[in-house]
A = this chain, B = another copy of it.
Amino acid sequence: MHRYKSQRTQASFGLHGHQVVSMRDSLQAYMTLDQSAPGDAYGSGAIINDFEQEIALELGKQLANFFPSGTMAQQVALRIACDNRDIATVAYHPLCHLQIHEQQGLKHLHRIDSVLLGEPNRLFSLQDLQNVEAVAAVLFELPQREIGGQLPTWDELQKMCDWCRQRGIHSHLDGARLFEILPYYKKTAAQVCALFDSVYISFYKGFGGVSGAILAGDRGFMDSAKLWKRRQGGDIFQLYPYIVSAQYNYRLRRDKMPVYWKNALSLAEQFNQIPGISTVPKKPVSNMFHVYFTVDSQLLEASLIEVLEKYDLALLPASRCDRDNRKYFEFWVGDQFSAVDPEIVAQAMCFLAAALKRGAAI
């Protein structure tokens, strides 16, 4: 898939994600500011405090704190939960961010062990939780990104959070893509967050900001979070470049999430109509899904390149490998999709199906 990976970036149109922005494009956000508006300084100043308040209100939490990264925000959340309970173990999904993308920072920095809930290729359930003993916290990732962005039913989610609450176990939400799932659950952010003791949200992902994260929770918890943010090197002199971008893009895209989801449903349906291609989940529950294939990898690559050349359109992002070494595509819908004529998408999909059929017959 190396040829497709490099050629796809040359296409004028794509379906995946947002338009790629240059560094200078990010200046749009600054243009919305007052000419003389000052930056933040070590967590103080209107630019940071106003935004933290705006998000705390939206999430229905007492306080929110802007972090440079989700990695840091979540480690801090789990550390506080562990310290408060004097238990150095937490439970989470086998493919959550902390387990596979952070070089085991939680263990090496905070000396917190983890219990893996359920199996890698599915969501964990109330039953999986019930097998767990003596953990300080359970981390829920909604949607579960590494399995295509799947979600438990609202009923199951409530039961799992209730189970935690009854046992004094801290429930933390990895809500990096929280706003992306609200249309499916038909809930407000505050309604989802009410199930959890703490929540982290991200401002790149669906919002398309430069970087940055918010951690929110009650006052006592967030007082500790500020302390740990400083300890971990996240109380940066000025965070405003991330906040300016986060605020701008949050306001720009928050209400587009239902459209992203609708487009993801439509696109997944079209992929699933092509023999040898299928999506996980079959019906997306957010703007994201994974695309798997049983057709020959080289044939698929050649066919995607044919589509590129004929329609100037990249149907898929670059491929990646899952834990079983199977190639797949992680797809999420953002603004790019809407810039392409749906008729062209339909034609390109038909063309792809025909190219795969033709190739398979040889």
CB pair B230 A105 closer than 8 Å: yes
CB pair B230 A211 closer than 8 Å: no
CA distance A241 to B24 in the complex (A): 10
CB pair B236 A69 closer than 8 Å: yes
Within 8 A of B (CB), among A64-95: 67-73, 75
CA distance A21 to B238 in the complex (A): 12
CB pair A231 B35 closer than 8 Å: no
Within 8 A of B (CB), among A4-42: 20-24, 26-27, 30-31, 33-39
Contacts of A108 in B (CB 8 A): 231
A58 at the interface (CB under 8 A from B): no
CB pair A20 B38 closer than 8 Å: yes
A293 at the interface (CB under 8 A from B): no
CB pair A210 B230 closer than 8 Å: no
Residue of B nearest to A104 (CB): B231
Contacts of A230 in B (CB 8 A): 71, 102-103, 105
CB pair A232 B231 closer than 8 Å: no
Contacts of A231 in B (CB 8 A): 102-105, 108-109
CB pair A234 B68 closer than 8 Å: yes
Contacts A23-B244, A211-B238: A72 and B232 contacting too (C-beta < 8 A)?
yes
In the complex, which of the residues A22, A31, A227 has the most CB atoms of chain B within 10 Å of its own CB atom? A22
Which A residues are closer than 8 A to B by beta carbons? 20-24, 26-27, 30-31, 33-39, 47, 67-73, 75, 102-105, 108-111, 204, 210-211, 227, 230-242, 244-245
